[in-house]
Amino acid sequence: MGDVWVNGELLTEEDARISPFDHGLLTGDGVFETLLARGGVVFGARRHLERLARSAAILGLSVPPHGVLREAMGDVMKANGRTDARLRITVTGGPSPLGSDRGTAPPTVIVAAVEPTIWPPTTAVAVAPWPRNERGAVAGAKTISYAENVVALAWARERRAGEALFANIAGNLCEGTGSNVFVGIGDRLVTPPLSSGCLAGVVRGLLLEGGVAVEEDVPINALAAIEEAFLTSSTREVQPIDRIDGRPLTGTFAKADAAQDLLASHWKNSPDP
């Protein structure tokens, strides 16, 4: 995997170590961000770092200054000879007692870079049988407690789908395991509001600010009649959905194309919007 940045120091993967008592390992106490770099430019870094800080505040964690993390990302890409990369910043509760209580040690901070994910041009999705809790203590935070996502994505893969979608407890569409979702309803493009419990995705925010879509609750059973939809995330960008629960979607990709065009303009004119 190459060199990684751990607590301010560049280390080889073999030399990089965290404590077996790290609270992130023991309890999933931590937050993270995944970013995409092209040509050495990290897209939307400001938004990602601000969201990292918001997620950390929900958990009561502190994070290094933005400048430190920006420099760390650059150092990791340079050390690994990458200008195109999938970057991950992880901040955990640090070494702690065996239990829910967090210790007094400083957080563990890791920055890593690997090759970008190559996503297929379209994907199928399956609606998971387990709801998101939009009223939970960490709703909307990007935490490392991903077991629910791991189980749901494996469930979707068994059904030949590339992503699982969650409803929330209220019975409305929420998000995917690692994506936001947009659906075409008539002439409008709609995405669930943050009150649904979904993550405030970076690409999601750009599309809303660009006037491409609006926020609105979507009953999960409405997906049975949807004919155009797509997923967004910082690594997949805009990925049209071609099937929902095995049902082919017959709509065009016009709304997805418009969303991708807006995102492409940011890459060209303002990669750190």
Identify the three-state secondary structure at position 255. Answer: helix
pTM, entire model: 0.96
Q: Are 123 and 147 in contact (CB under 8 A)?
A: no
Which CATH superfamily is 123-269 part of?
D-amino Acid Aminotransferase, subunit A, domain 2 (3.20.10.10)
pLDDT tens digits along 168-184: 999 999 999 999 999 99
Confidence label for 1 from pLDDT (cuts 50, 70 and 90): low
pLDDT tens digits along 39-51: 999 999 999 999 9
Residue 216 has pLDDT above 90, yes or no: yes
The whole-number average pLDDT for the span 92-113 is: 97
Tell me, what amino acid is at 134? E
Residue 25 has pLDDT above 70, yes or no: yes
Residue with tokens 């195109």: 84
Q: Are 133 and 168 in contact (CB under 8 A)?
A: yes
Confidence label for 2 from pLDDT (cuts 50, 70 and 90): confident
In terms of phi and psi (left: phi > 0; alpha: psi -120 to 50; beta: otherwise), the region of 98 is: beta
Confidence label for 258 from pLDDT (cuts 50, 70 and 90): very high
Return the HEC string of 74-99. Answer: HHHHHHCCCCCEEEEEEEECCECCCC
pLDDT tens digits along 182-193: 999 999 999 999
Contacts of 10 (CB under 8 A, 6+ apart): 3, 4, 75, 76, 79
Domain extent listing, the chain: 3-114, 123-269
Closest CA to 33 of 148, 119, 143, 118: 143
Q: Among residues of the chain, what percentage have pLDDT more than 70?
A: 100
What CATH number is given for 3-114 in this structure? Answer: 3.30.470.10
Are β-strands 3-6 and 108-114 bridged in parallel, bridged antiparallel, or unpaired?
antiparallel
Mean of per-residue pLDDT scores for the chain: 97
Q: Are 272 and 42 in contact (CB under 8 A)?
A: yes
